[in-house]
């Protein structure tokens, strides 16, 4: 039973990933159960369980005899709720945070050793924009992304840079997933600003070990916020 549950929850997460990548449009009809079963190489029973999970979380409409349709209101306006909606064994958002921890902790260390004055200026601009974003979540999202991508670029490691740009969309989802919490709690907003400032100062001073430690702490706090949002 546990294995069966794992299979359909993993499939549900794959369908959610299609939402996030824009492969499924608002109002679009999903392929038939038979087609999905063939596409994902699972039984039709597993497909039905996965679709039922998505329906229970408000992501699709299942119409008797008429197929399953993507809900218009969900995909366009609340991507952060989509990514946290299905509580699977390893939700996509947590997998992304595991990857971010692996990449960003080490990139912070390398950035502290290799950042140029131009790299540091980019990070300062991103920090400044974050201070202006208290009443503007969209600006805050862009500034936050710019800061983390700027750190990767400051490593001057072409593979790090390529990976972080490839993952930008998924990084955006993890930031959005905690943004509501931060903007509703003034103290958490200020804490977030301070965390980014301390990471910047460690990089600017060339203290790789400190930068690494601070980034690890920052990612851990993001993880805790996501757990809280799912309770």
Which pLDDT does position 93 carry in this prediction? 73
Which pLDDT does position 90 carry in this prediction? 44
Which pLDDT does position 229 carry in this prediction? 58
Give SS3 for 132.
coil
Mean pLDDT per segment of 10 residues, for the chain of length 231 residues?
A: 57 69 73 89 88 78 85 50 43 78 95 97 96 83 94 94 87 76 69 94 98 92 70 45
Contact by Cβ (8 Å): 78, 26? no
Enter the tokens of residue 154: 């400051």
CATH no. for 92-230: 1.20.120.530
**How far is residue 96's CA from residue 104's CA, in Å, rounded to a whole number?**
12
Which pLDDT does position 107 carry in this prediction? 97
Q: Please, what's the largest Cα pairwise distance for the chain?
A: 64
Ordered by start, the domain boundaries in the chain are 2-79, 92-230
pTM attached to this predicted model = 0.60
Which pLDDT does position 136 carry in this prediction? 82
Other residues' Cβ atoms within 10 Å of the Cβ of residue 11: 22
Which pLDDT does position 103 carry in this prediction? 92
Which pLDDT does position 23 carry in this prediction? 66
The CA radius of gyration of the chain, in Å to the nearest whole number, is 20
H helix intervals, the chain: 2-21, 33-40, 44-56, 72-77, 79-85, 92-114, 117-131, 137-153, 158-166, 168-184, 186-204, 208-230
Which pLDDT does position 185 carry in this prediction? 66
Enter the tokens of residue 206: 């060339």
Which pLDDT does position 1 carry in this prediction? 40
Query: In terms of DSSP bridges, do strands 67-70 and 60-63 run parallel, antiparallel, or are they unpaired?
Result: antiparallel
Which pLDDT does position 57 carry in this prediction? 67
Domain 2-79, classified CATH 1.10.10.10, yes or no: yes
């Amino acid at each position: 039973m546990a294995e069966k549950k794992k299979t359909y929850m993993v499939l549900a997460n794959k369908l959610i990933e299609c939402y996030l990548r824009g492969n499924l449009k608002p109002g679009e009809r999903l392929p038939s159960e038979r087609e999905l079963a063939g596409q994902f190489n699972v039984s039709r029973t597993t497909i039905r369980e996965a679709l039922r999970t998505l329906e229970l979380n408000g992501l699709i409409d299942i119409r008797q005899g008429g197929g399953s349709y993507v809900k218009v209101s969900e995909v366009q306006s609340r991507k952060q709720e989509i990514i946290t909606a299905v509580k699977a064994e390893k939700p996509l958002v947590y997998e992304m945070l595991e990857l971010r921890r692996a990449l960003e902790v080490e990139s912070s260390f390398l950035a502290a050793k290799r950042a140029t004055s131009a790299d540091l200026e980019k990070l300062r601009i991103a920090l400044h924009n974050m201070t202006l974003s208290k009443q503007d979540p969209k600006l805050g999202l862009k500034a936050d992304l710019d800061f983390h991508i700027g750190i990767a670029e400051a490593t001057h490691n072409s593979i790090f840079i390529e990976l972080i740009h490839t993952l930008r969309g998924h990084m955006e989802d993890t930031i959005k997933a905690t943004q509501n919490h931060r903007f509703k709690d003034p103290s958490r907003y200020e804490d977030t600003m301070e965390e980014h400032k301390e990471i910047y100062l460690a990089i600017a001073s060339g203290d790789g070990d400190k930068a690494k430690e601070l980034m690890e702490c920052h990612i851990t706090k993001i993880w805790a916020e996501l757990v809280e949002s799912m309770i």
